[in-house]
Amino acid sequence: MSEETTRPAGTAAPGPDEGAGTGTRTGTHELAGERTDTGARTGTPELAGERTDTGTRTGTPELAGERTDTGAGVVEATAAPTRRALLGWGGAGLALGAAAAGGTVAAVAAGGDRTAPAAATGAAVPFHGAHQAGIATAVQDRLHFASFDVKTRDRAELVRLLQDWTRAAESMTAGNTVGEGAYGGLAEAPPDDTGEALGLKPSRLTLTVGFGPSLFDARFGLRDRRPAALVELPKFAGDNLDPARSGGDLCVQACADDPQVAVHAIRQLARIGFGKVAVRWSQLGFGKTSSTTPEAQTPRNLMGFKDGTRNIAGTDLAALDKHVWVSRKDGPAWLAGGSYLVARRIRMNIETWDRTSLREQEDIFGRDKGEGAPVGRAKEHDEPFLPAMLPTAHVRLAHPDSNGGARMLRRGYSFTDGTDGLGRLDAGLFFLAYQRDVAHGFVPVQRSLAADDLNEYIQHVGSALYAIPPGVRDKDDWWGRALFS
C-alpha cells in the first residue's frame, strides 16, 4: 500500500498504492478463480485446484522440483505433470522448465510454443535453497498465516518439532501427502494426513517460518542468540492493537494459488505440533495486494487502488541484498540469508471510504484510481513528483525519498472476516513486509505515515514481528538448525 516501502499507515494503517489492472471478473465468485493474462477471472475449475483424474498428491516425491537457486527465491522448479496434463497437451511430448524472471513455469507442448504461468500449471515451488521460499517468490493468490505459542519447555522437543515440520513442508510443497498419507495405513490409528488436499496440484505452495521475540526468553537457552534487531515494535500513533491478534513465538506463512492447499498445510503443521505448540491467532487472505513480478498486472486493494507499483521485484538481486536479506555483517551468524517480517492486520473502514468522493480518494493516495499514475504523471510506473502531491498524501509520505531510502518487500493480502456486529464489514489489508532491518525499514516509514490522511479510513488492530531464518539447504537441514546448533 505504500510507494516503494511498506504500506504502513502512520497511525493505524498503511495505505494501498499498487494494484490490479482492469481485471474484470467473469464467471462465478469462486475463492480459487485464477487470473487470466488480461486480468479477468475465468473461474475455470482446473485453476482452482480441482481434483485431477489420478490425483497429484500421491505420497511419492515425484512432484518435488529441484531448486536452481538464483538467490532471489523465485520459482525455478521442474515439476512432473499430472496424467491429465500429459494427455491434454497432446501426450507426444512435454517440457517443463523454469522461467527465472517472475517465477513462472513454462509448459511447452510438442510442436508449439504456448506457455502457461505457474499458477495455471499448478507447479511446485522448490523448497530447498539459500533463502526460504515465499519471500521473493512470485506472490500467490491465497494466504493462510498462523502464529503459534510454544507450550513445551523442552528444548529437544522443540527442535524435534522444527525437524518434523521441515520434513512435512518438503512433502506438501512438492504436492505430496504428509507421512504415510490419508488412507491405507493402520485402520485403528488416525491417518498421518487429513486428506483434504488429495488430488490437488501443489498450486505453488510455499511455507515460510519465523521466530518471534518471545521465543528468545529463558525457556530454551536462546536469550544470547536473540538478534539485536528483533525487538518489540514501538507503539505508533493510532494503533489499536488486540493482544489476541498480535505476537507469537513462531509463525508460518502458507501461500498458494488454491486456498484449500494453503489451509491444508497449516492444518497439518498444527496437528504435528499438538501438545507442543498451539495456534495463537491466524489470518486467511485473498487477492494479493502486492506483487514481486513488476511485469505482471498490478493488483488492487479493497479501496480500489493499485497496490505494489514500486515493490521490490523478486528478480532484483541487488535490491534484495540491500533491503531484504540479512547479511553476515548484520549479525547474528545464524540469521545470515534470512530476513525480518512485520505482519500487521489493518482494518479498513470500508463503508466510510465508499462514501468519499473520487477526487478526495485520489488526493489521499497521490495516484489516480484508473491508471494508477502519480499526481501530474500519465502512467502508473512514471516516477512520482512528490512536491505535486499534498503533504499528507500516502505515496508522498511512504516514498523512500521521504524516509531516508527505506524500502521493504511487501506480500500483503486482502481479508474479509464477516461483519463487526454493527452491519459493517470486518475487512482490510493483512500487511506483510520483509526487510533487512526493521529499524531502517518499517519503523521510520510507519512514523512518517502518522500524518497520512489515509488514517481516517484505516486502523492497525494486530501486529507481530519475526526473524525469518535462512532457507533449508538440503534433506539434512531443517528450519532453525543454525539457531539451535
Instruction: Find the farthest-apart pair of alpha carbons in the chain and give their distance in angstroms, rounded.
Output: 70
Is residue 335 classed as helix, strand or coil in its secondary structure? helix
Find, among 425, 395, 427, 432, the residue nearest to 414 by Cα: 427
Average pLDDT score over residue span 452-469: 98
User: For residue 219, how many C-alpha atoms fall within 13 Å in the half-sphere facing its CB?
Assistant: 17
Whether the per-residue pLDDT at 78 is higher than 50: the answer is: no
Interatomic CA distance for residues 256 and 265, integer angstroms:
10
Measured CA to CA, the distance from residue 325 to residue 335 in angstroms comes to: 9
Q: What percent of the chain has pLDDT over 90?
A: 70
pLDDT (0 to 100) of residue 476: 96
Selection from 207, 175, 205, 181 nearest residue 194 by Cα: 181
Strands, DSSP E only, in 151-270? Answer: 206-211, 250-256
- Per residue in 179-221, pLDDT (tens digit) is 999 999 999 999 999 999 999 999 999 999 999 999 999 999 9
Q: At 360, is the secondary structure helix, strand, or coil?
A: helix
Confidence of residue 288 (pLDDT cuts 50, 70, 90): confident
Lookup: cell for 404: 531516508
Strand partners, 96: 107
Distance CA 361, CA 242 (A): 28
- The whole model's pTM is what? 0.78
For the cut 80, the answer to whether the pLDDT of residue 59 exceeds it is no
Return the DSSP state at 375. Answer: T
Query: Residue 11: its pLDDT value, please?
Result: 42
In this prediction, residues 85-104 reach a mean pLDDT of: 33
Query: Rounded CA gap, 383 and 471, in Å?
Result: 34
Q: For residue 43, what pLDDT is reported?
A: 41
Q: Which pLDDT tens digit goes with each residue over 323-362? A: 999 999 998 999 999 999 999 999 999 999 999 999 999 9
Instruction: Establish how many alpha carbons lie within 13 A of residue 12's alpha carbon, considering only the half-sphere containing its beta carbon.
Output: 21
Question: What average pLDDT score do residues 267-273 get?
Answer: 98
φ/ψ region of 480 (left if φ > 0, alpha if ψ in -120 to 50, else beta) reads left
What is the C-alpha separation between 290 and 432, in angstroms, rounded? 9
d(CA 160, CA 168): 12
Cα distance between residue 476 and residue 485, in whole Å: 14
Q: Round to whole Å and give the CA distance between 368 and 176.
A: 45
H/E element, 415 = strand 413-419
